[in-house]
């Protein structure tokens, strides 16, 4: 029943064209109404947020970063991060499941068109060496477009459990960064300062994510070292 309600909510949201209003200006203009709705109906607001975020991820719409900021603004850095991670993981897993089905051929072609020559072979080799470590690496560092990372594991034989855990754990650091920034949007709105999504990922944050990505690859590097040592 809850899944049915979420599906209906997603259908209504996108069917009515409300996704076209997912913008920073719309969030700023409607912030008072949104904050009031969350304070009056927290659970309903959280379910709607999860449904919209999951639907946006499944449809590969370019609004996830904005939604993550909105989550931090509306629900706070902790709950905003939790809800965003759950929603993004659910949406990505739905897309992964669709890609593995008979409906996956158009998605496969789209993913391959987005890659440069030779990239697919490198990704496939990475998954064959250590699927979980490579999944974490791709989630932590945006080397390839998000929708490509959502799709390719389905075509390269990655097990659903590996995909699920790699996605869930791998997106937490970046999502937390956006959630923390989103929690501070209230002050930015009040001050009238200029803001852009590009300013969220500073050099320091990118360096931190890169460091985590290197850590995720330690099992792969250790495996290679052992092979050379033998």
pLDDT tens-digit series, residues 102-127: 666 777 777 777 776 667 777 777 78
pLDDT in tens, 163-177: 999 999 888 888 888
**Which residues, 6+ apart, have CB-to-CB distance to 83 below 8 Å?**
46, 49, 50, 53, 71, 75
Residue 13 lies in a domain: no
Residue 158 lies in a domain: yes
Residue 12 lies in a domain: no
**Which residues, 6+ apart, have CB-to-CB distance to 103 below 8 Å?**
none
Full residue range of the structural domain in which residue 59 is found: 2-7+20-229
Token pair listed for 97: 């499941």
For residue 110, CA distances in Å to 86, 120, 147, 151, 178 come to 25, 13, 10, 9, 28
Total number of domains constituting the chain: 1
Asked whether the predicted pLDDT for residue 86 surpasses 50, the reply is yes
Residue 14 lies in a domain: no
Residue 225 lies in a domain: yes
Give the span between the Cα atoms of 200 and 218, in whole angstroms: 28
Residue 28 lies in a domain: yes
- Residues for the chain: how many in total? 230
Residue 110 lies in a domain: yes
Verdict on whether the full-model pTM lies above 0.75: yes
Give the CA angle between residues 93, 96, 102 to the nearest 5°. 135
pLDDT in tens, 8-36: 555 555 565 555 556 777 777 888 898 99
The answer to whether the beta carbons of residues 177 and 69 sit under 8 Å apart is no
Residue 15 lies in a domain: no
Count of alpha carbons within 13 Å of 143, Cβ hemisphere only?
Answer: 17
């Amino acid at each position: 029943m809850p899944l049915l309600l979420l599906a209906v909510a997603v259908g209504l949201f996108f069917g009515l064209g409300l996704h076209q209003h997912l913008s920073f200006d719309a969030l700023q203009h409607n912030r008072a109404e949104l904050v009031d709705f969350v304070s009056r109906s927290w659970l309903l607001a959280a379910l709607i947020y999860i449904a919209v975020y999951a639907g946006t991820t499944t449809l590969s719409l370019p609004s996830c970063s904005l939604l993550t900021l909105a989550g931090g603004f509306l629900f706070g850095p902790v709950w905003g991060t939790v809800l965003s991670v759950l929603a993004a993981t659910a949406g990505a897993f739905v897309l992964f499941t669709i890609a593995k089905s008979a409906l996956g051929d158009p998605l496969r072609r789209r993913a391959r068109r987005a890659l440069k020559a030779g990239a697919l072979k490198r990704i496939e080799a990475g998954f064959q060496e250590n699927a979980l470590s490579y999944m974490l690496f791709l989630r932590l560092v945006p080397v390839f477009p998000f929708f490509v990372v959502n799709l390719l594991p389905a075509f390269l034989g990655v097990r659903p459990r590996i995909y699920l855990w790699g996605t869930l754990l791998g997106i937490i650091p970046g999502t937390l960064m956006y959630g923390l920034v989103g929690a501070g949007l209230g002050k930015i709105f009040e001050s009238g300062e200029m803001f852009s999504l590009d300013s969220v990922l500073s050099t320091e944050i990118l360096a931190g994510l890169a460091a985590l990505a290197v850590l995720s690859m330690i099992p792969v590097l250790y495996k290679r070292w052992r092979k050379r040592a033998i």
